[in-house]
Amino acid sequence: MKKIILTSLFILSSFLIQAQNEIAPKIEEILSQLTLAEKVAMCHAQSKFSTKGVPRLGIPEIWMSDGPHGVRAEISWDSWDNAGWTNDSITAFPALTCLAASFQPSLAKKYGIALGEEARYRKKDVLLGPGVNIYRTPLNGRNFEYMGEDPHLASTMVVPYIQGVQQNGVAACVKHYVLNNQELWRDHINVEVSTRALYEIYLPAFKAAVQEGGAWSIMSAYNQYQNQFCSHNELLINKILKGDWGFDGCVITDWGAAHDTRQAALYGLDIEMGTGTNGLTTSTQNHYDNYFLAHPFLNMLQSGEIEEAVVDDKVRRILRLMFRTNMNPDRTFGRMNNVEHQQVARKVAQEGIVLLKNEDNFFPLDPNKKMTIAVIGENAFRPLTTGGGSSDLKPKYEISPLQGMRERFPNAVILHTLGYASGPPAYGRVIPSRYDVDSLRREALVIAKRADVVLFVGGLNKNHHQDCEGGDRLQYGLDFGQEELLRMLQDANENIGVVLLSGNAVAMPWLGRTKGLIQGWFLGSEAGHALADVISGDVNPSGKLPFTFPAKLEDNAAHHFGPLSYPGDSINQHYKEGILVGYRWHDTKKIKPLFAFGHGLSYTSFDLSAIQTDKKSYAPGEYITISCKVANTGQRAGSEVVQVYVGKTKSEVERAQKELKAFSKVMLEPGKEATVELQVGLDKLAYYDEKSSGWKLEKGEYVVYVGTASDKISKKVTISVK
C-alpha cells in the first residue's frame, strides 16, 4: 500500500514538474512585455469578484466566486447586491461539517469534482473554499464551513476535495490562513498561541492542502498573529507558506483584509480583494485604483522604495494561476445541476448524518406503517441553503425535511406546525419573528397529543448569531424558545425524536427524555431526501462526529480559561489550552463529553477483534501497520469507521492522552467480516519542539488505541520507538 502511494506521488510530482517547466518560459516571456502599471493592475480587484487582465496581450481577467458548498449567485460589479441573473441557480452541497462527518475521503473527491464542474460551467477561475480552520469553540458562527476539531481528519478530507475541484481547471482557494477560529472581532483580534499549538493543531490542514492537495491559491485570514495581520504576515506567508512549504500559488486576501501597502508588498500578499468594499459606488476614495496594492504600490515601485522584483514575483504567481485555469486550453466546459451532482449531494448527506441516540430503537421509523407523525419545528421546512454570509446559495431546488418525509412515508398522516419561529435571513443583524410564541406552542401541543410519533426538527439556522459569518453565537443552548418547547412536547408525548440541523454542538438539557437524536447538519439541495433515507432505514447511518459535544460550555477548553481565552478583550486573546483542543482536552483532563469526537451509532452492530500491530518495536522512518477484523453482527448492512489513535507515555513534554492518526470506513453486509489495515508513519508521532524550531520524535513507549470513537476504544497496544 505504501509503495503504491509513493509511486503515485512520484508520477504526479514528475507530471507537475514537467508542466511547470513548460509554463515557466511562457511566464517570463509575458512578464518581459508587461508595463509596471499593468503588473500592478493584476495584483488587485477591478470589481467585487474579479481582477484585471491585459487585453493587448490576450491576458484574461480572473473571476472568483464564494462557494465551499456551492457556487454563489452572481454578485453586482461594485456592491454586494445580487446581480439579478436568472441562470445562476446551482446544486447546493452539504456543508463541510457534514463532509467531514462522513469520514470518507473518496466522497470528498466526488464532492470536489462535482463542485468544480459547477464552478467551471459558471466560468469561475477561483473557487473560494474549502475552509479548514479548526473547531475551537462551539460558539464560532462559521464552524459549519470547516472540517472539525482534528487536524488529521481535516488534512485527510481536504486533499481529495482540492484535487477534485482543480481537475476541472478551477483553483481551490483554501481558507482562512490561519487562526480565524471565531467571527467576533475577526477583523482585528490578535491571536496569541504557542508555536507548538500553531504547528500541531492549526497549520497541518493548510500544509496538507499545499503539499499533498497541490492547492493553487490560499485565502488569508482577517485576524492578526504576533501583532501582524495574516494577509501580510512575514512569518506565516513568507517563511512558512512560501518558504518551508514551497507554495507556488497565489495568496489572496479575504475581502478587505489588507491594511498596509508596504507590508502587503513585502510580506507575501499577491492579490488584494475587497478593500473599501463598495468600489466605485460610494466615492472616489474607494476606487479600486486606491487599494493598497494599486496606485500606492505603483508609486512605491516607481520611486524605488520597493524593488520591481517584488511585483514580478506576484505577477509570476498570478500568471501561473492563469496557466492552470483560464489560460489552460485543455480544461473542460463544466456541468451544472445535473443528476450526477444531485446524487453526490445526496450521498454525502447520507453518509454524514450522525445517529447520536437511539433508545428502544426509536429509529428507523417504518415507512409502510399507518401512523400519525407530528413533524414540529421551523427547520422542517425553512430553507437552510440561504443566509450564512458568503456561503449563501441560490439552489435550483431544496428538498425540505418535511417534503422528504411526506414523499417517503405515503401511508402515514403527517402533521406539521412551526412550534417556534426565528426571523427571516439577515446578515449582520437580527430581524425578530412576526409570529406569536404562545400561539405556535399551543398548536404544536395539539398535534403532538394526536400523534403516534413526534419528530422535532430544530437546531440552528444561518441567521446572525446562529451559524453565520460575521458574528458568533450568544449562547450554547438552542434559541427561539426551542428548549422550553421541547420540554412541553415531551410532557405531551413521550414517543419523541429530535433531528438537529446545525453546524455546531448545542446544549441538550432535554436529551434524557428524548428517545432518538439525529445530527443532520446543513445538507444542501437533497436535505429532505437524505434525512428521509436515514429516518426510514433505507440508509443505515454511518456518520461520525467531527468535533466534541461538551456537556456544558465551560467543559470546552477555550471557555475553561475564561474570557481572555475566548473571546479575548477585543484586542488580544490567548489560546491558553495550547494543543489540548476538542477531544484532546476532554481525554487528557478526564472531562466526560455529552457526545465524543468520532461518535456515531448504526442500525446494526459491529465487533472489532484481532487488533494488533505488525511488530512491537519501530525505528524512525518506519510505518506502524495496524490490523483488525471488523464483523457486522447485526441484521442490516452498514458501515463502521475504524479509528486509530496514538498516545505517548512518560513524555518529556505535555501531550494529549491520544491523537487521531488513521481511520478507515468499511461497509459490511450482515454476518460478514473484513480485515482492515491502517498505517501510521512514525513521523506522525513527532511533536513540534519550540527549542529547536523543528519536529522531534521521542524514543520510548507509545500506546496505540483502536476503536470506533475517541471514547469507545476496543483495544490498546503498546509499542516502542527506538
Catalytic (active-site) positions: 254
Cell numbers linked to 94: 452539504
Give the H/E segment covering residue 121: helix 105-121
Whole-angstrom distance, CA of residue 178 vs CA of residue 548: 21
Cell numbers linked to 319: 500568471
β-bridge pairing 453-459 and 372-376:
parallel
C-alpha angle with apex 386: 172 to 483, nearest 5 degrees? 120
Q: 367 and 447 in contact (C-beta within 8 Å)?
A: no
Give the H/E segment covering residue 139: none
Whole-angstrom distance, CA of residue 692 vs CA of residue 422: 53
- Helices marked H in 277-400: 295-302, 308-324, 339-352
Is the peptide bond preceding residue 464 cis, with omega within 30 degrees of 0?
A: no
Give the H/E segment covering residue 120: helix 105-121
Whole-angstrom distance, CA of residue 677 vs CA of residue 49: 46
> Rg for the chain (alpha carbons), in Å?
26
β-bridge pairing 700-709 and 638-648:
antiparallel
The SS3 assignment for 708 reads strand
Q: End-to-end CA distance of the chain: give it in Å, rounded.
A: 24
**Type of residue numbered 600:** G
Whole-angstrom distance, CA of residue 666 vs CA of residue 679: 15
Q: Which residues of 435-456 are buried (b: 16+ CB within 10 A; e: fewer)?
A: eeeeebbeebbebbeebebbbb
> Residue 218 forms beta bridges with which residues?
174, 251
Q: 484 and 407 in contact (C-beta within 8 Å)?
A: no
Give the distance, in angstroms, between the CA of residue 616 and the centroid of all CA atoms in the same chain: 36
Whole-angstrom distance, CA of residue 112 vs CA of residue 638: 25
Q: 112 and 545 in contact (C-beta within 8 Å)?
A: no
Whole-angstrom distance, CA of residue 450 vs CA of residue 468: 36
